Amino acid sequence: MQASNVFLVLVLCVNFVSYFTFRVEADEPKSPAPKFEDHHNLEVYSIPMRDGVKLNTLVFRPKNQKKALPIIFLRTPYDISRYRKEGPYEAFQGLAQEGYIFVFQDMRGTFASEGVFRLFVPDVSAKSQTSETSDAYDSIEWLTKNIPHNNGRVGMMGVSYGGWATIMALLDPHPALRAASPQAAPSNVILHDDFGHNGALRLSSLFGFSYGVESTSGLNFFEYDQDDLYTWFLQLGPLKNVNEKYFHNKIPTWNFAMEHPDYDQAWKSLEVTQLIKRRTSKRQVPILHVAGWWDAEDFTGALENYRAFEENDSLNNNHLVVGPWWHGAWSHLQQKKFGPMDFGDDTSQYFQIHMLGKFFAHHLKDRPMAYTADVLVYKSSANKWHELGHWPPKQNVIFQKFYMSQERGLSTSPPQDQGIRSFYSDPENPVPYSKRPISSFWTNFEDGKAWKVEDQRFLAGRPDVLSWQTEALDTPQTVAGAVKIDLYASTSGTDADWVVKIIDVYPDDDSVSQDLKGYQMLLSHDIIRAKYRLSVEQPSPLKPGEVYHYEIKLPERFHVFGKGHKIMIQIQSSLFPLFDRNIQHFISAPTAEAEDYKKALHSIYLSPTYPTSVSLPLLNPKVD
């Protein structure tokens, strides 16, 4: 990658994973992008915490400020000096026009701030009784008392890790914290967010993230010596080689994951939803949670955080927005297209002005609220925002079951005959999660984001990817919620991974543009590790050849399968190197040797006794 044709930008308090690469063409205009300091005066402070540690903080006050204004406050471990450069201001232009004092802070132990940083750990120091919650509280206390011409009201926001930091502030909110918007905030990093899903380790994510954050005092990309990360991670071999060859036990988060392969108390102590439910403060700060349907990192976390706060939301102050975005895309302008979808309008600009902007203006400036619904969700393919009282909808949704047949069809009629489809799962030839070559997840926009809606025809011909599909739909069908799969399967090994995908198959005719003919758009997917089928805390081996029933729930969607489209289900046993390879024998992955990885025969059962099926939450077309 040449420095002359890319530049990296961080947005908001976005996670390390949200570094985005943009190509700069030679014929593009050279006019500089606006910066905060074009419109704001900069003040730099070292704010003292209750234990004496000082946190580096930038304050931008409007140059034309004539009255007291609220504060918009962001905390991040990813270097606030970037807010003095071109680029990040883009995400705040709508708020800047309304008029706010913007404050950015390096979190404890990062960049110019003092102290020790502990990744995703709420309690910074038990000895001094400090935490990310108390740091946020102390900072707001200092800001409201010391920043000139503020009106005593503070709003917090941030994407990914910044969203997590915002939620930490909400556990014991300062009285001046009057509104908050945690965006793409993880809730459980090992069960469904950045580091793992249902017992399977997100290999390339955990590897790149932990190295980037913890290998130096700043952010540092790992330098791969291969253009294709599929090849690099395959040649790496078993997980133990990471420390033996590269990390040398110096990356704490990687070590933590290797020392705790099961969901034990160490992981449970980091679970955000439990922290929310156990919080002692009863104050209900208005919250606007934000998620993107195709967020590759923290989609489920954002929804789970919303639901945790919803349990005690007696004032109806807890709101959720879900749009047609990848991780943090709503903080950029010009989000009109994604994959095969053309939204027509700029969905991120609409969000920034009409949702986020109105939310903060109402709670920090007493302006009228633009919407009253608890939930605003974007229906993909229909290109329409919907205001709902709940997500997923509690009314007008019917679960339609489709059975998978030996003939590779999906039918509403249960199977009448004995059927079985089998394939060999080979750890030496795992199924790639994206079209190869696979570039770094963090530094390449297309590979890092667009694979969530990628055309799955790149897997055509692989015998270890099984497909079923409906006939062409006579009428549009809207999925509203989580697709559920009842899978009956066996293996010749003692462990297995099961990957299930739902795909929107476009017509292969002139009803769509030439580039979309036959497009197989990945809509939603997930993975489960079979040894955790009974408990994520206590793994148990499979009996070779025995049929097991798995209930798999895919991440939720609000999507229209158009007339003439087909609904496809795919089942496979790997998504590499996004997820680590299953050893296919009951062995702990962190201690496995190369020779422990075994080829296995997987079988899917399609019979009256074992009716593998998928249940779609379909919205009643009369109210759609």
Q: Is the predicted pLDDT of residue 151 greater than 70, yes or no?
A: yes
Question: What pLDDT, on a 0 to 100 scale, did the predictor assign at position 31?
Answer: 65
Cα 521 to Cα 525: distance, rounded to the nearest angstrom = 11
Percent of the chain with pLDDT over 70: 92
Q: Is 94 helix (H, G, I), strand (E, B) or coil?
A: helix
Cα 371 to Cα 285: distance, rounded to the nearest angstrom = 17
The pair of structure tokens assigned to 156 is 């917090």
Cα 337 to Cα 335: distance, rounded to the nearest angstrom = 6
* Pairing relationship of beta strands 477-481 and 6-9 according to DSSP bridges: unpaired
| 318-343 mean pLDDT | 91
pLDDT band, residue 477 (cuts 50/70/90)? very high
Question: What pLDDT, on a 0 to 100 scale, did the predictor assign at position 217?
Answer: 65
> What class does CATH assign to 397-619?
mainly beta
- Helix then strand then coil, in percent of the chain rounded to 5, is 25, 30, 45
Supply the angle between the helices 161-170 and 132-146 in degrees, to the nearest 10. 80
Question: What pLDDT, on a 0 to 100 scale, did the predictor assign at position 115?
Answer: 93
| 361-383 mean pLDDT | 92
Q: Domain 6-188+270-388 adopts which CATH fold?
A: Rossmann fold (3.40.50)
| 600-617 mean pLDDT | 99
Question: What pLDDT, on a 0 to 100 scale, did the predictor assign at position 442?
Answer: 57
DSSP string, 370-412: S---SEEEEEBTTTEEEEESSSS-SSSEEEEEEEE-TTSBEES
Domain spans in the chain, listed from the N-terminal domain onward: 6-188+270-388, 200-266, 397-619
The pair of structure tokens assigned to 203 is 């290999």
Tell me which of 530 and 212 has the higher pLDDT. 530
pLDDT digits (tens, 9 = 90+) for 72-86: 999 999 999 999 987
Question: What pLDDT, on a 0 to 100 scale, did the predictor assign at position 219?
Answer: 75
**Residue that is written with structure tokens 């694979």 in the block:** 451
Q: Is the predicted pLDDT of residue 371 greater than 80, yes or no?
A: no
Using alpha carbons, list the distances in angstroms from residue 277 to 125, 175, 504. 22, 20, 37
Q: Is the predicted pLDDT of residue 15 greater than 50, yes or no?
A: no
Percent of the chain with pLDDT over 90: 82
Average model confidence (pLDDT) across the chain: 91
| 266-271 mean pLDDT | 96
pLDDT digits (tens, 9 = 90+) for 90-135: 889 889 999 999 999 999 999 999 999 888 988 866 666 899 999 9
* Overall size of the chain counted in residues: 624
Residue type (1 letter), 275: L
Choice among 257-271, 429-443, 500-514 with the minimum mean pLDDT:
429-443
Residues in a beta bridge with 389: none
**Residue that is written with structure tokens 């296919």 in the block:** 584
Question: What pLDDT, on a 0 to 100 scale, did the predictor assign at position 377?
Answer: 98
Query: Residues 584, 446: contact at Cβ < 8 Å?
Result: no
Output the CA torsion sign for 155, 371, 18, 30. Answer: negative
Query: Residues 201, 195: contact at Cβ < 8 Å?
Result: yes
Distance from the first to the final alpha carbon of the chain: 46
Cα 540 to Cα 533: distance, rounded to the nearest angstrom = 8
Choice among 24-33, 139-148, 320-329, 425-434 with the minimum mean pLDDT:
24-33
Q: Is the predicted pLDDT of residue 446 greater than 60, yes or no?
A: no
Neighbours of 38 (CB within 10 A): 12
| pTM of the full structure | 0.93
* Short-list 501, 497, 442, 480, CA closest to 296: 442
pLDDT digits (tens, 9 = 90+) for 562-584: 999 999 999 999 999 999 999 99
| 398-422 mean pLDDT | 96
